[in-house]
Amino acid sequence: MLKLFAAIGRYMMLMRKVFSRPEKAGIYYRRILVEIEALGINSMPLVAIISIFIGAVIALQMGITLESPFIPKFMIGYATRETMTLEFSSTVIAIILAGKVGSNIASEIGTMRITEQIDALEIMGVNSASYLILPKIVATVLFFPLLALFSMMIGTVGGYIIAAFTGIVLPAEYVEGLHYYFIPFEITYSLIKMAVFAFIITSISAFYGYSPKGNSLEVGRASTRAVVTSSITIMIFNLILTQLMLT
């Protein structure tokens, strides 16, 4: 427990360093654009593939489960939309991104640490924490909500395609379900969750990457710890945010 508090303390101190005033705003702006491409745009194919299949599977499972004549078929579209919007496109995609982006950040910064690149920045007088971590945080907090929106769209399209191919529901009925009892705030809730998860993934992974001293084994361990801790923290905050925003 003492170790946990010590780690939280070190994390807070690192964040204080990260959010101190940048030396040159222009440099940070350029680095944010680079990170948006590296961490956000490059994650789109993975998000698209996973979302389209999960959307299709949800629609298929709903079609099999909702066989009662008392339940209208358009509920398949409704259930697919709700699952994608409320949970999959934010929480599950965030867990997947914690694996992809989180391990990438932890190993990149960890390697920079053990090869003395971070020391070199410090010697130059550069605030290495801010220079390396802040653009990543800004990039993911801005872009991951767009990934969540993208996932919702692709997922519902996946459901539509499977509906059209298998005939479990007429495409028109599926689309009717997508419109049924639509609450725009659910999208807002999902985007806010994703922005929070983006901060969690990036800051925790950067924290573990920034800390290791030693060899490449330590970088590997830091990367694993980053993914595990980010995933658990995402789950805890998912519960907290849902309680705060939906009840």
Partner 1 sequence: MIKCENIFKSFDGRTILQDISVQFESGKTNLIIGRSGSGKTVLLKTLVGLHEPDSGKIFYDDKCYTDLSFTDRRELRREVGMIFQGGALLDSSTVYENVRLPLDMFTNQSAAEKDKRVKECLARVELSHAGHLYPSELSGGMIKRAAIARAIVLNPKYLFCDEPNSGLDPQTSIVIDNLIHDITVEYNITTIINTHDMNSVMEIGEKIVYIHQGKKWWEGSKDDILHADNQELNDFVFASAMAKRAKKSL
**According to CB under 8 A, which residues from 13 to 42 bind partner 1?**
23-24, 27
CA angle, corner 227, sides to 133 and 137, nearest 5? 20
CB of 56 to partner 1, least distance (A): 37
- Total interface residues for partner 1 by CB under 8 A: 17
Contact status, residue 88 vs residue 54, Cβ threshold 8 Å: yes
Q: Which is nearer to partner 1, 31 or 193 (CB)?
A: 31
Residue 183 DSSP SS3:
coil
Does residue 122 bind partner 1 (CB under 8 A)?
Answer: yes
CA contacts within 13 A on the Cβ side of 77: 24
* Tokens representing residue 41 in the block: 């745009």
Kindly state the DSSP code that residue 185 receives in the 8-state scheme.
H
Does residue 123 bind partner 1 (CB under 8 A)?
Answer: yes
Q: Which is nearer to partner 1, 49 or 119 (CB)?
A: 119
What are φ and ψ of residue 26, in 5° steps? -60, -40
Closest alpha carbon to 19 in 149, 138, 116, 197: 138
| Rounded Cα distance, 68 and 173, in Å | 16
CB of 134 to partner 1, least distance (A): 14
Does residue 112 bind partner 1 (CB under 8 A)?
Answer: yes
Site string for partner 1, 137-166 (x = CB under 8 A): ------------------------------
Does residue 119 bind partner 1 (CB under 8 A)?
Answer: yes
What is the total residue count of the chain? 247
Sheet strands (E) in the chain: none
Of 49, 120, 217, 232, the residue at the interface with partner 1 (CB under 8 A) is 120
* Tokens representing residue 54 in the block: 């999960």
CB of 124 to partner 1, least distance (A): 5
| Rounded Cα distance, 72 and 173, in Å | 9
- Per CB under 8 A, the segment of 53-61, 65-73, 109-117, 237-245 that binds partner 1 is 109-117
Of 125, 184, 243, 247, the residue at the interface with partner 1 (CB under 8 A) is 125
CB of 127 to partner 1, least distance (A): 8
Does residue 126 bind partner 1 (CB under 8 A)?
Answer: yes
| Rounded Cα distance, 99 and 163, in Å | 31
Site residues, partner 1 (CB under 8 A): 23-24, 27, 111-112, 115-117, 119-127
